[in-house]
Structure 1
């Protein structure tokens, strides 16, 4: 039997993906600091934390069977955590300007988050959106 020991920072970083998988927009306040700094912000949203609510809502409304799998996770000094992840789902609703296609998607992303006092205070995130778009638009 293998026992995995994770730190509080790793648990918070992983909880972020649970919000996407469950569509729990309300959980944003549990995971992210109110004064979150998003280094890759969603255009046109009022604040970084509102951007997280928007992204989770778009995934909730546009995809079913959403599952994030952490491919790599490493805790660094200063409260930083690096996550490389993969999302699988079926595109069943309108999301990110794309009409529902009914097609399965699988794409990766990388997040670098800083966790202080049990919440994500900073985030750098990159998603393979071109890969997702190509899968949704495939003929």
Structure 2
């Protein structure tokens, strides 16, 4: 795959998986032995099935979740994108009952592509800001 194909793969992750909640697309987009490193629990997520569970959990809690890829760059087998997601907290999430709060989550993802699929991702989200918006922690 070339750099533009790798960028398209990252964009499809946002559009098809995160925005649409299409967990079936994960089989086409992620390597079988996929690994994700992130500030969320679990901090190291392994395999397509665990990632599908994470997507389902997010969509159950935030059914109107929608995000954009704000910037994207790629070099070699690595794609980096900066994203912004918006959603309304409508279902239980990480033990927090629905608040009805509108949230914005911003972050950056670095993905390593191998044989046309994402093999590994490093996610850096503004988790503290996200939790503040849910009302689970305060600024001070």
- Check whether TM > 0.5: yes
CA distance in 1, matches of 2:46, 2:36: 9
- Whether the 8 Å CA contact 1:72–1:83 is kept in 2: the answer is yes
- Aligned partner of 2:81 in structure 1 is 83
Structure 1, unaligned runs of 5 or more: 1-5
CA distance in 2, matches of 1:111, 1:44: 14
Deviation per residue, 1:42-99 (Å, 9 max, x gap): 429883323311221111101032111112110112x100011010011111123221
CA distance in 2, matches of 1:112, 1:97: 28
TM-align CA RMSD: 2.3
1:16 aligns with 2:13: yes
Structure 2, unaligned runs of 5 or more: none
- Aligned partner of 1:120 in structure 2 is 118
TM-score (norm 2): 0.83
Which residue, 7, 11, 17 being the options, matches 2:4? 7
- Trace 1:36-51 onto structure 2 (pairs within 5 A): 36-40=34-38, 42-43=41-42, 47-51=46-50
CA distance in 1, matches of 2:126, 2:47: 20
CA distance in 2, matches of 1:32, 1:64: 23
3-state SS of paired residue (1:93)? coil
3-state SS of paired residue (2:64)? strand
TM-score (norm 1): 0.84
- Aligned partner of 1:129 in structure 2 is 127
Structure 1 residue runs of 4+, over 2 Å off? 37-51
Following superposition, the deviation at residue 129 of structure 1 comes to 1.7
